[in-house]
Amino acid sequence: MKVQPPELSVMATTAGETERTTRGSAIDRALGEKQSRRMFLRTAVAGGCAVAAAKWLASGPQQTTFEPFQVAKTDSLVPGDSLTFTIPGTSTDGLLVRLDQDSYIAVDRRCPHLGCPVLWSRPANQFQCPCHRAEFDARTGAVLNGPPLDGLRRFAVERNDDALWVRAKA
């Protein structure tokens, strides 16, 4: 917005109106500056909120990393066996499966759809959610069928001599 200097207004008026016009222009300018300041502040606040919201969305939900904990002895499971466990100090349950001689997978039991506890189906060789018949891949936890949009959350499994340890984030 272009602001006119007071002299330009004065040129078109009589001498008596000069002061009023000049004061009016000063008030107009002051109001204009006030409105500009308000606009600037509104824009700055809105911009700041947008940046904060974008950062929050980009960071995703906050996760806690738990100390590794032992869940089983390696010889306590044969291929195809599973066991459930609870992350120490929490109410979060996991499911550990021995897939074959040397492979294990551990997942968060909460179904990503509505949170029902998932089960291991040895005959189908997959994780299943009984609530809405979702099926998940045994090796990755990815959705095979059903309403969940995301796969099962996986926990890292580490073999240390004859023990299996889980490193969980929840």
Distance CA(164)–CA(103), nearest Å, equals 11
Q: Is the dihedral of CA 87, 105, 60, 147 positive or negative?
A: negative
x/- binding map, residues 84-123, to ligand FES, per CB under 6 A? Answer: ---------------------------x-xx-x-------
Q: How far apart are CA 144 and CA 125, in angstroms?
A: 12
- Options 64-72, 78-86, 127-135, 154-162: segment touching ligand FES (CB under 6 A): 127-135
Cβ at position 133, least distance to ligand FES in Å? 7
Does residue number 80 form part of the binding site for ligand FES (CB under 6 A)?
no
Rounded to whole angstroms, the Cα distance separating 5 from 16 reads 19
Question: For binding to ligand FES (CB under 6 A), which residues are involved?
Answer: 111, 113-114, 116, 129, 131-132, 134, 146-148
